[in-house]
Homo-oligomer: A and B are copies of this chain.
Amino acid sequence: MKTTKKILLPESEMPRQWYNIIADMPIKPLPMLHPATKEPLKPEEMEGLFAKELVEQEFSTERYIDIPEEVRTLFKIYRPSPLVRASGLEKALDTPAKIYFKNESVSPVGSHKLNSAIPQAYFNKIQGVKHITTETGAGQWGSAMSIACRHFGLDLQVFMVKISYEQKPYRKFVMNTYGADVVSSPSTLTQAGRALLAENPNTNGSLGAAISEAVEMAMTKPDTKYTLGSVLNHVILHQSIIGLEAERQMEMADDYPDIVIGCFGGGSNFCGISFPFLRHNLNSGKKTRFIAAEPASCPKLTRGRFEYDFGDQIGMTPLIPMFTLGHDFQPASIHAGGLRYHGAGAIVSELQREGLIEAMDIHQSETFRAGILFAQAEGIIPAPESTHAIAATIREALKAKEEGVEKVILFNLSGHGLIDMASYDKFLLGELSDFSVPDEDIAASIAKLDKLIK
């Protein structure tokens, strides 16, 4: 078939099952540990916090898990999402590489987060839960849960990381429009929040702290469960729909990726686009490279340690076997709020240990340049998070040009930046900090981008 700009799957071909990579991993991830006993966590110990079916998914070793029909119906608001040939970017880079991106920005909240928010709200609903708590960094996950909870008639309390609450007021308004309650975290609603505020009244907040608050409220309030937008196995499972669709769309385009790239916070969009392709590395000898693009100021995969660590700042969650910067790590206030998390999920950490995936860390000033070049070439202004994937893609496409090889690169456009325009404004005014001095290589990358931006 002749490749069009957008490669569209009909609704009827939307996947009916999620893919669980654990079934295909040669070495399984280590178990989570109970925070008090340090014994392997049992499913029933998670059920106080999470809906029962989500806990089953968390521990499942089944290769494929059915997507409920009610969830699929809601997905049709925006799924299947388009696979797009980035012909404008290819031209701007003058590269022999063929660049595709999966456009997850088409969801009503502008990101991939709805892929897990809908099933999480659904499984809570059918169990009779009334109230949901969650945290949000950039606000993408909170917005997604707001829609999903509204649809299923659940109340939602969102703890929004303070720096994002201040930098991204529009995100709060979006959540309010869908009927959610949003507070700045650390808040005075929880013991955890009050303790953190007492310790440092001027804190920027962090995802780790917001998680502590949301978990505490879920554990202490009746008919209440907690939801998380990344890191955990069941979230990664839900996000596999991205890669499963992309796989069929690449077939339609008669191509297969040499490199798959996603930005990396806790793993949800990177794993979502990667794992269905990584399956073929594991099972059929494919040699695709998988690159997790993370911020230089929060480099858990490139510079963190692999160890058991808490998922939250206070230490209320189970211990997770993860690449981590330490659960009390305070990331700089970069605009990619969704990537300001100290650790990586258990599955992706295990894959990184075994060298089955790669990681790349990128400075903020390079990512915004990449974002502007992409916007000018493809029309879409990317989310600050997604600009990390774009910057990594540009690096690889320019390398392909230097080497004169035709690579097929697929990246995930996890979201658009229209609700984060204040960050672009700051960048254009020269007011964005890089938090650390770029080394020579990075300075060279930045100089290349400056030449390409018109």
Contacts and interface: CB of A to CB of B under 8 A. Distances in A.
Contacts of A78: 379
Nearest to A378: B77
Contact of A77 (B5, B73, B151): B5
A106 interface: yes
Given A12-B4, A108-B381, A379-B147, A173 B422 contact: yes
Contacts of A425: 169, 172-173, 176
Contacts of A4: 10-12, 76
A448 interface: no
B177 A424 contact: yes
Nearest to A84: B77
Interface in A138-152: 147, 150-151
Contacts of A110: 418
Nearest to A85: B76
Given A176-B425, A177-B381, A424-B173, A8 B8 contact: yes
Contacts of A12: 4
Interface string A421-454: 1101100100000000000000000000000001
Contacts of A372: 177
Contacts of A376: 150-151, 178-179
A170 to B, nearest CB: 4
A91 to B, nearest CB: 11
A250 interface: no
Given A6-B11, A77-B5, A380-B108, A418 B375 contact: no
Contacts of A332: none
A400 interface: no
Interface residues of A, number: 44
A107 B451 CA distance: 28
A177 B174 CA distance: 23
Contact of A418 (B106, B172, B174, B428): B174
Nearest to A174: B421
A121 B110 CA distance: 28
A93 interface: no
Contacts of A378: 77, 108
Contacts of A77: 5, 378-380
Interface in A340-359: none
Contacts of A282: none
A30 to B, nearest CB: 38
A334 B78 CA distance: 30
A419 interface: yes
B454 A421 contact: no
Contact of A170 (B11, B73, B170): B170
Nearest to A5: B76
A176 B418 contact: no
Interface of A: 4-6, 8, 10-12, 73, 76-78, 106, 108-110, 147, 150-151, 153, 169-170, 172-174, 176-179, 372, 375-376, 378-381, 416, 418-419, 421-422, 424-425, 428, 454
Given A108-B375, A151-B376, A177-B428, 19 more contacts: A4-B10, A4-B11, A4-B12, A5-B11, A5-B76, A77-B379, A110-B418, A169-B421, A169-B425, A170-B170, A170-B421, A173-B421, A173-B424, A177-B421, A177-B424, A178-B375, A178-B376, A179-B454, A418-B419
Top 10 A-B residue pairs of the complex, sorted by shortest distance between their CB atoms:
A5-B76, A108-B379, A173-B421, A170-B421, A173-B425, A4-B11, A108-B380, A77-B379, A177-B424, A418-B418
